[in-house]
Structure 1
Amino acid sequence: MNNDNISHQGTPKSSKPSKPRSSSPRSSSPVNRTKAVEVAAQLFLQQGYAYVSMDEVVRVSGVSKSNIYYHFKNKEELLQAVVQFWIAQYESELYLLLSQRERGVEERMNSFLELLSAGIEHRNFKGTCPFVTLYMQAPESASLAKESISIFFRELVPMVEKLFQQGVERGEFRKGIEPGAVASLFVAALEGSLILAGTSRDLGIIEQSARTFCQMLR
């Protein structure tokens, strides 16, 4: 669940033609951008998007203000990068789960939920679902970030559907269930369990909800 060169001017003393110097600031390094995004991803969830300033991202990340503004014109652009960061984290884990066909589906689901639980605990139960949290906190002007989250959820259901289809093929779940409908219901149940886990500070709710869900499919 893990990116300033100052342009010099003047006449070269040597008669040899000098190599052109890059006018790009050191901020073009992907390391600075990645660091800023990773820090902002945690701050937005822990403190709330509206309460995190660009100056705080500068202070916590150790990336200079000029570097951050080189990559992000404003906080909304940084928010979009944060949303893409979380999407990449989740999708990489989900693709990995889908590829591990030698493992049971419920076992793979539990592994994924353990990762979610570890992240929630690390954030002290704040922002239990990064996508719902950021969607609710994002201003209306951050339409790109909101749309990215909407697309993520639309694409999430077919991925989960494949997982349940594998479960049917493996004999873990009974034949006759509709994997697509089951996937939609599971995502909704998961989001609900994440919210309840956050409000009650009880991670066991997430595992219990998933276990009960799978039992109903047998």
Structure 2
Amino acid sequence: MNNKKKMSQPANRRHVVEVAAQLFLIGGYTYTSMDEVMRESKVSKSNIYYHFKSKDDLLFAVVEYWVKQYEGTLFYFLSQNEQTVEERIFAFLDSLCKGISERNYQGGCPFITLYIQCPEHAEQVKSRISRFFIELQPLIAKLFEQGIQKNEFRTTIQPEQAASLFITSMEGALMLAETRHDVSVIIETAHSFFNMLR
């Protein structure tokens, strides 16, 4: 009996984080109570607090969840060398657009949304989100390097600068998509960006 309970703990923790990840974006971190997380996840409050000492702890776990989602997808597309860089990035953006549509355009960029919503004292959360963007830039730069090597883009392009500009453009597009309830702005922005790289 005890072994079964122990085996179910990681699954329970994962499920609570996945549920909270959606609730915090859709309803807002401040307005989502631990009781709501309990109701939606169907995991007891005592079990939730077994894994998370506080709501802030759960928020940090949610940020880590989104980091793993994004990085896992990016690493996958980095490895798809048979596709062009443009094809890989658009495949990644398509997956983002799908998620935004499924959330009814709430929380276009999980990281910016959670950064804005997190309490002032949640320095660990803010630091993790900041580190995500710092680590994201070299991943995107590597893709642009591959594009230059394959003659997809102009050889005069600086991959690091292009990556920084691309991330900034995409964040703006994600915000516009959320306010307009239209993901096409993300795709259109990416098309315009790639036109400048050729």
What amino acid does structure 2 have at the position aligned with 1:139? P
* Residue in 2 that maps onto 1:12: none
2:162 and 2:97 mapped to 1: Cα distance?
Answer: 22
* Residue in 1 that maps onto 2:58: 78
Percent sequence identity over aligned pairs:
54
Q: Secondary structure at the match of 2:30?
A: helix
Quick check: 1:179 aligned with 2:159? yes
* Residue in 1 that maps onto 2:95: 115
Q: Write the mapping of 1:73-152 to structure 2, written as runs, cut at 5 A.
A: 73-152=53-132
Return the index of the structure with the highest Cα Rg.
Answer: 1
Q: Secondary structure at the match of 1:103?
A: coil
Q: Secondary structure at the match of 1:50?
A: coil
What amino acid does structure 2 have at the position aligned with 1:142? A
1:71 and 1:140 mapped to 2: Cα distance?
Answer: 23
* Residue in 2 that maps onto 1:210: 190
Alpha-carbon deviations, 1:46-73, whole Å to 9, x = none?
0000000001000000001111000001
**Structure 1: tracts of 5 or more residues without a match:** 6-20
TM (normalized to structure 2)?
A: 0.97
Q: Aligned pairs, how many?
A: 198
What amino acid does structure 1 have at the position aligned with 2:97? S
Bigger mean CA deviation after superposition, 136-145 or 79-88: 136-145
RMSD across aligned positions (CA): 1.5
Deviation of 1:158 after TM superposition, in Å, equals: 0.4
TM (normalized to structure 1)?
A: 0.88
Deviation of 1:34 after TM superposition, in Å, equals: 0.5
* Residue in 2 that maps onto 1:158: 138
2:6 and 2:194 mapped to 1: Cα distance?
Answer: 51
Cα pair 1:25 1:67 within 8 Å, conserved: no
Cα pair 1:76 1:142 within 8 Å, conserved: yes
Q: Secondary structure at the match of 1:52?
A: coil
More helix by share: 2
Query: What stretches of structure 1 move > 3 A for 4+ residues in a row?
Result: 24-28
Quick check: 1:55 aligned with 2:66? no
Q: Secondary structure at the match of 2:151?
A: coil
What amino acid does structure 2 have at the position aligned with 1:116? L
Cα pair 1:27 1:67 within 8 Å, conserved: no
